[in-house]
Structure 1
Amino acid sequence: MCGRFIITDTASDLAAMFDVEHEGVNLPEPSWNIKPTEQIPIVLESAKAGPVVRRLEAARWSLVPSFATELQASFPTFNARAETAAEKPTFKSSVVSRRALVPATGYYEWRTVGGMKTPYFIYSDDGLPLAFAGLYAWWRNPALADDDPARWVLSATILTQDAEGAVADLHDRMPVILAEEWWDQWLDPHTRGDQSLIDAAVAASREADESLRFHEVAPVRGNGPELIEPVGAPSSV
């Protein structure tokens, strides 16, 4: 699973990195402890009435499908299992044409031994941001008036797969990580998504999985760069 992650790049850095043409408003600041339902930056492509435009937008991390009657779901939607997303009512419409990239500097995972959970920080060995395969949705809040700009909520989820490589020693699930050569195909709203597209993305992610590294960190509390320092590392102060 992926229940906490970090993004230390600014919106302008991400826009350059992902070749974004349009930056949305109220994009979140860098954070070392992002939790479900908080705002996250996502990359998506839209083509409502013209050419495809790649956009960087702020989204609620926990997908709210368009048919939902309220914002809060009765079950977690910050992750979607890659094996079943195309058939689940909550996610299947998004699989078809509303796919996103979720930039991340890295993410946390907890290894459980007996009753003890030990946190680890997982990141790419080249230090570059990861691009998680995501899905997004627009939800209209029925309690708000048509002229209320807050009536539309953009939300997103991160696809997960069976853990591969060394990180499988920490947890049995991990996010689907897409290499750059897969970004265009994943984002293209004209590509009709289905389970075969997800399966191909998961298969292609294995190369990125091999580049992951991790180290133990202290309990993940608060927010700041000290959260990702290895346990036992000398202080940077």
Structure 2
Amino acid sequence: MCGRFAQYSSRDDYFDSLGLKPDEIIYDPEPIGRFNVAPGTNVLLLNERDDEFHLDPVYWGYGPEWWNKQPLINARSETAPTGRMFKPLWEQGRAIVPADGWYEWKREGDRKQPYFIHHKANQPLFFAAIGRAPYGKDHGHEGFVIVTAASNKGMVDIHDRRPLVLRADAVCEWLSVETSSQRAQDIAHEAALPEKDFTWHPVSANVGNIHNQGETLIKEINPEGT
């Protein structure tokens, strides 16, 4: 994880959860409406620059010039602050992906069943992210990655990693340029939502096709998939 997620609520919903005021960022009541966000696409990313909050479309993936493989889409919270690839991004490119949930696949017999994972109270989620700043410029494939944490075998029992989802009250400090790299590590450890805050249900295999969108993708299905 994370390889697919949903970002369908309105900006108003996300920003209200963060306690942002209308003069701090541009509000918009229209739903974003993306129920099947895939790597390699532009994703709305919340970030801070010039002492203001911004929501910019940023490429999901990170592959610097010296990287000769597919762009990476995730970074482990345990190693990102110190590793060669992600240390500069952790220090200067922290961001947030506002989301509503994410997908995981579990092998059941001879097929893989997708599940949609979301907050038990259907609250907006805030994925910790790092990337190439400033986000107001197009850096090509040097975009962003979602920070992941160990799932402690508590998430559907299908994957050992999950997005690092921060509490709403920790988001502004995570984004702040005044926050040190060490303090950001503390936030990642102290302000991550625990597994018990989430729930999940099986969904249609149609989510496996990145061209499919729509609310039906997050609807619960019975074990036979109907």
TM-score between the two structures when normalised by the length of structure 1: 0.78
Distance in 2, matches of 1:114 and 1:82, equals 32
Counterpart of 2:38 in structure 1 is 35
Counterpart of 1:161 in structure 2 is 149
- Deviation of 1:30 after TM superposition, in Å, equals 2.0
Counterpart of 1:212 in structure 2 is 198
1:100 aligns with 2:98: no
Counterpart of 2:132 in structure 1 is 137
1:230 aligns with 2:220: yes
CA contact (8 A) 1:62 1:157 kept: yes
Counterpart of 2:6 in structure 1 is 6
* Counterpart AA for 1:80: A
Counterpart of 1:176 in structure 2 is 164
- Deviation of 1:99 after TM superposition, in Å, equals 0.6
Q: Secondary structure at the match of 2:155?
A: helix
Q: 1:89 to 1:165 in 2, by over 3 A?
A: same
Runs (4+) off by over 6 Å: none
TM-score between the two structures when normalised by the length of structure 2: 0.81
Q: Which of 177, 180, 184 is the matching residue for 1:189?
A: 177
The aligned runs of 1:2-151 (5 Å cut-off) are: 2-18=2-18, 19=20, 21-23=24-26, 29-47=32-50, 52-64=51-63, 68-69=64-65, 74-113=69-108, 115-138=110-133
CA contact (8 A) 1:97 1:191 kept: no
Distance in 2, matches of 1:210 and 1:45, equals 30
Q: 1:211 to 1:73 in 2, by over 3 A?
A: farther
Q: 1:150 to 1:204 in 2, by over 3 A?
A: closer
Q: Secondary structure at the match of 2:39?
A: coil
* Counterpart AA for 1:211: D
Q: 1:181 to 1:151 in 2, by over 3 A?
A: closer
Unpaired stretches in structure 2, ≥5 consecutive residues: none
Deviates more, 1:214-223 or 1:165-174: 165-174
Distance in 2, matches of 1:116 and 1:46, equals 45
Identity %, equivalent residues: 29
CA contact (8 A) 2:94 2:129 kept: yes
CA contact (8 A) 1:44 1:99 kept: yes
Distance in 1, matches of 2:68 and 2:13, equals 33
CA contact (8 A) 1:217 1:231 kept: yes
- Deviation of 1:151 after TM superposition, in Å, equals 5.5
Q: 1:155 to 1:107 in 2, by over 3 A?
A: same
CA contact (8 A) 1:162 1:173 kept: yes
CA contact (8 A) 1:176 1:202 kept: no
Structure of higher CA gyration radius: 1
Unpaired stretches in structure 1, ≥5 consecutive residues: 141-148
* Counterpart AA for 2:3: G
Q: 1:89 to 1:114 in 2, by over 3 A?
A: farther
Aligned length in residues: 213
Q: 1:114 to 1:44 in 2, by over 3 A?
A: same
